[in-house]
Amino acid sequence: MERLATTSMRCRRPLTGTRPSLLSQPLLRQPQPRRWRSTHRGGTRTALFFPGQGVQRVGMLTPWLEAFPSTASQLRDEIDEYMGYKLSDIIQNGPSKLLTETPNAQPAIMATSIFILRILEREFGFKVTDHFDVTLGHSLGEFAAVVAGGYISFQDSLYLVRKRAEAMSEATRQAIEQYGGEYGMVAVISHPEHMENLIKAIRQFVGVSAEDMDDVPPIEQVLIANINSKNQIVLSGNIERIKTLIAHLRQFLGYDPRAVRLKADSPFHSPIMKPAVTVMRNLLNEGSRVKGRENEDMVTFPGRLPIVSNVSARPVCCKADFKDLLARGCLDTVRWWESIRYLDQEGRIRRWVGVGPGKVGRNLVGKEVGMRGKDLVKGGGVWAITDPSEVEEVLKGLEDTAGIMEDDEYSE
């Protein structure tokens, strides 16, 4: 029996249930480190994904510091050294308003995601190259994915994220100073059967991309920032303009989507972010900040694991595209729904493991592929690891589903 080759993940251009939070209480039973016994290669195809902005919470390192004090303390100090200040103090002590500010929230979330991944690697034998087939991250989460995938060092990625966040905040400040108005993001929820036509209608009203708005002042700019799932998109830009758009959809096109204002202090993935793209392009062409590599490109390509871009919703196939797409991630629409569908349908991914704070990423993936950790559909599942109490159950689920393949992946 020979296993047929599945769709190439390298160059095509064109873990369960919600548990009570452990952030405010000590672990009742410390998890026991043990090795992941799964031998992945030749088995079920698995994706590793990371969350984006909005999942930050004060104290999100606490359960890991309590469960693995030696390893976690070393990693915490490493983060602070790379940042040049005690980011961990803001993560652990807040206040929440300070942590939520974009220049703090973005590096805090990305750092926490890699902090958790490193503990999984050192304490439980998570070997990214041995156990996963592809990685991706939602918006900001892409910077954790590039670290996991071996494209950019943790130190360099933290530097990029901090500078990215500062550039995005500055772009918003300049728009307010020059044009006035209020800017932000609004989630739009509709029935799945209406979503395709809803997206078309919005694009007819505001344009498809930032390039369509070169002659439009920021106070009138709105763009689809995220296509998150079969029933949710996010609009970004001037809030009054977004309200007008939603009223237009309701009055003239017969759509009545639910609109929810998000707690975002900037209109991410909108034309206002164009200056941030320029900043990121320049930064990605700098040398590495890792000692001894200062004269080397900070980007290694290919990495150790294929990565799917938010912008293209396809695996990245060369270094030039990698840099271009990562820079454009400040501005372009996050095509998350399409990325998940691509990996599910063409990449034949059957197991999905989210690492990092919050359950939003797990829920978005599960909504699309129709799986949760205990619902081992087609030998797969969707899991999230946010605190140590979840690790054992996730590992068991992954071990139980290792080696399962669909019938049409075999041939005599």
Of the candidates 336, 264, 312, 322, the one whose C-alpha atom is nearest the C-alpha of residue 143 is 322
Q: Write out the H or E segment, with its range, that includes residue 99.
A: helix 96-100
Q: Does residue 362 contact residue 394 with C-beta atoms inside 8 Å? A: no
| Tokens linked to 38 | 């799964």
List of long-range contacts for 294-298, beta carbons under 8 Å, 24+ apart:
298/152, 298/153, 298/156
- The set of catalytic residues is 139, 269
Q: Does residue 120 contact residue 355 with C-beta atoms inside 8 Å? A: yes
The Cα–Cα gap between 367 and 84 comes to 39
Q: What are phi and psi of 287, to 5 degrees?
A: -75, 165
The Cα–Cα gap between 26 and 7 comes to 45
| Tokens linked to 227 | 């296509």
Q: Does residue 353 contact residue 385 with C-beta atoms inside 8 Å? A: yes
Burial 336-352 (b: 16+ CB within 10 A, else e): bbbbbbbbbeebbbbbb
Report the greatest alpha carbon distance in the chain: 68
The dihedral sign for the CA sequence 133, 19, 161, 88: negative
